[in-house]
Every structure is written in C-alpha cells, then in structure tokens.
C-alpha cells in the first residue's frame, strides 16, 4: 500500500518483451560487454562532448539511497588541469609503487603491468572525476545526511562505464591513492570526496591490454 504522503505516478515506459526477444537481447548485451576492456593507452583524438553528456545523463538514471543521487561528475578536458592532475597522481603513485604498497599488493598488480607513469591522464580527451556527496546542506546550512553513498555512486559508475562502452569509447577506472588532491585542484566543496577518475576516449592505435580472463558463471553465481 502506498502512503498518502507521497506522490506516485503510473509506471510508464516499461515494455514487456517476448521471451525469445528477451533472450536475444540478454545474449547480445552480454556479447557487447564481453568486449569491454580497461584501456591504459589513449589516443589524443577529441571526442564530441555531447556523447559524454549523454553517457553522464545515463549514469544519472542510476538508483540511489533515498533517491539522493549523491554523485557529482567533474569532466576535465582543459590540458593544464589534466597536467596538474597527472603530476599530483604520479606523485602519489610513485610513493605507492616504491614504498606504500605491500609486497602482496604489488604481486596482485603484476599481471596488469601497471606502474607509476600515468600518461593517459594527459592523453585522453576526458577525465571524468567522480565525487561522492556525503551530505548536502539545506537552505539554512543544516547538514542533511546521505545514505548508501558509496554503493549508489558505485552503481552510477558501473552504468557510466557501460554507457561509454556502448557508445564506442574506451575507459579506465583509475584510483590514485590517496586522491584528496582532486578536490583541491577542482575546487570542490567539503561535502564531496573524490572516489575515482574515469579516463575516457579512443584507445591509442595498437593499444595493448593484459591477457586476463573473467570467472565463469558457476564461479560467480549460485542458483539456490
Ligand atoms: N592506483 C595504482 C595501483 C592500482 C591498484 C589497483 I587495486 C588496480 O586494479 C590497478 C592499479 C595505479 O593506478 O597504478
């Protein structure tokens, strides 16, 4: 039963598909997503801003705790800002690879072939810096808590990655650690925490990716 204090409208836009059509769609979407790879070498080729805007609008359709939509996407294309982000990220990454990371962590990263050099932060046309809004301020300046913030932002990022891939772009989830420098460089307010840089653009010609596999269905899912 819905409570009389809330405004409900008819579910619109839901279209039931015939079972065979459903299966075909599920199969073809799986095929599409099977071809998604994290890319670390990007072309400098520009990408139309409208494509990024549409992918962000798509990400903004994600479900979120209490529909608070606790995300903010700062899209960086200015070469000088990208240069500053690269410099700050590489400083953290050097400390990570040289001393901060445990041997176990470095061993886990070995198959990826990553290191402290992050040229993609300057080469890719867009760095989409994702911030969590941990709370918001009401009109009297009172803090309004947000719920399930990381979960909600994680879902939106997943949809964004999917939308970018579907649009024919490559991306990389990059998480320099720590990444407080992003709030400073991008002059974001105190209620926002940077959680990721989504590097987006065309892959460089001849881009290489590590030869990795994914777990099989039986390893990731149980039907009980
Ligand atoms: N942030 C570092 C290290 C790194 C950590 C994980 I976990 C990865 O999946 C990949 C990289 C870097 O970007 O190199």
Q: Look at residue 201 and tell me whether its pLDDT is greater than 60.
A: yes
Residue 25 inside a domain? The answer is: no
In this prediction, residue 5 carries a pLDDT of 81
pTM: 0.96
Residue 90 inside a domain? The answer is: yes
Q: What is the pLDDT of residues 42-81, one digit of tens each?
A: 999 999 999 999 999 999 999 999 999 999 999 999 999 9
Residue 8 inside a domain? The answer is: no
Ligand 1 binding pocket includes 40 (Cβ within 6 Å): no
Atom of ligand 1 nearest to the CA of 101: 3
Ligand 1 atom 10: the closest Cα is on which residue? 109
Atom of ligand 1 nearest to the CA of 176: 1
Instruction: Count structural domains, the chain.
Output: 1
Q: What is the residue range of 65's domain?
A: 42-204
Residue 77 inside a domain? The answer is: yes
Best of 99, 114, 127, 198 to mutate for ligand 1, by most ligand atoms within 8 A of CB? Answer: 114
Residue 7 inside a domain? The answer is: no
Residue 21 inside a domain? The answer is: no
- Tokens 């399930």 sit on residue: 148
CATH of the domain at 49: 3.40.109.10
Ligand 1 binding pocket includes 192 (Cβ within 6 Å): no
């Amino acid at each position: 039963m819905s409570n009389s204090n809330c405004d409900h409208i008819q579910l619109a836009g839901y279209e039931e598909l015939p079972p065979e059509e459903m299966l075909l769609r599920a199969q073809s979407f799986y095929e599409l997503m099977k071809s998604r790879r994290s890319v670390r070498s990007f072309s400098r080729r520009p990408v139309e801003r409208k494509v990024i805007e549409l992918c962000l609008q798509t990400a903004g359709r994600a479900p979120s705790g209490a529909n608070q939509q606790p995300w903010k996407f700062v899209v960086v294309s200015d070469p000088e800002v990208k240069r500053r982000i690269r410099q700050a990220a590489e400083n953290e990454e050097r400390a990570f690879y040289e001393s901060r990371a445990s041997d176990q962590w470095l061993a886990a990263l070995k198959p990826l072939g990553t290191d402290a050099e992050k040229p993609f932060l300057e080469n890719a046309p867009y760095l989409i810096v994702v911030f969590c809004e941990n709370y918001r301020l009401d009109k009297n300046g009172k803090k309004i808590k947000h719920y399930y913030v990381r979960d909600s932002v994680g879902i939106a990022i997943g949809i964004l990655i999917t939308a970018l891939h579907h649009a024919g772009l490559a991306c990389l989830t990059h998480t320099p650690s720590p990444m407080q420098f992003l709030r400073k460089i991008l002059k974001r307010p105190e209620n926002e925490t940077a959680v990721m840089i989504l590097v987006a653009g065309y892959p460089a010609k001849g881009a290489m990716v590590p030869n990795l596999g994914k777990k099989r269905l039986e390893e990731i899912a149980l039907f009980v």
